[in-house]
Amino acid sequence: MSAHTATTAPAVLTAKALLLDMDGTIVNSDAVVERCWRDWAVSHGLDPEAALKVVHGRQGYATMAILLPERPMEQNHAENAVMLARETADTDGVIPVGGAPEFMAAIADLPHALVTSADAALATTRMTAAGLPMPRVRVTAESVSASKPDPEGFLKGAAELGVDPAQCVVFEDSGAGIAAGKAAGMRVIGVGPRAAAHTPHAHVPDLKSIHVHPAPDGNIHLTLHP
């Protein structure tokens, strides 16, 4: 065995349930997100590149509150509704993250939930556009009172599945989402290039790198190939 092989041995995480973010984690919607938010930033006299550094993982109103801190929150909520409608109408370039169809098929009969900052309409549109099955348990924007990085969404997903938070593994791509998973007391697998900078407990380039092994005792073993 070469030294290189020895240093890249696969890691194994064990869980009772899996909590999945959507955008950037199982669905690649970056093209739409960047189109919509660049336009929004320019229309408000903001630097689009700076705006894109904070949009991922948060609900739109929370992003707006960061970028326009002096503005009334009700205005952010109103503009967020407009933004959600535009994003829902735009599916150009929405595709599955690498390995997502196979991963979703592998966990179809295992305890899992979608925990997304999208609302139900946007989540349904993007999952459909990417050709992915919608999990039976899902926590969308309407289900929570606080956006990621608040842990509410992940804690609600665990509760709906009836699983202790410490026995859940979160899949996330964004800094806000990774922080939310950690705040919920869960282990976090970072997916994709954005995630690496936010110190998840483990990191994979995409979902092709994860193999799912259900155990007879109800545990889910996740083998991560770096």
Q: Is 23 marked active-site?
A: yes
Candidates 23, 150, 173, 206; catalytic one: 23
The Cα–Cα gap between 216 and 131 comes to 30
**How many H-runs (helices) and E-runs (strands) does the chain carry?**
9, 11
Q: 36 — phi, psi (to 5°)?
A: -65, -45
Catalytic residue, candidates 21, 30, 150, 173: 21
Q: Which CA distances in Å does 94 have to 29, 58, 99, 127?
A: 5, 18, 15, 9
Question: Is 109 annotated in the active site?
Answer: no
198 Cβ contact partners less than 8 Å away, ≥ 6 residues apart: 174, 175, 178, 179, 190
Query: Active-site residue numbers?
Result: 21, 23
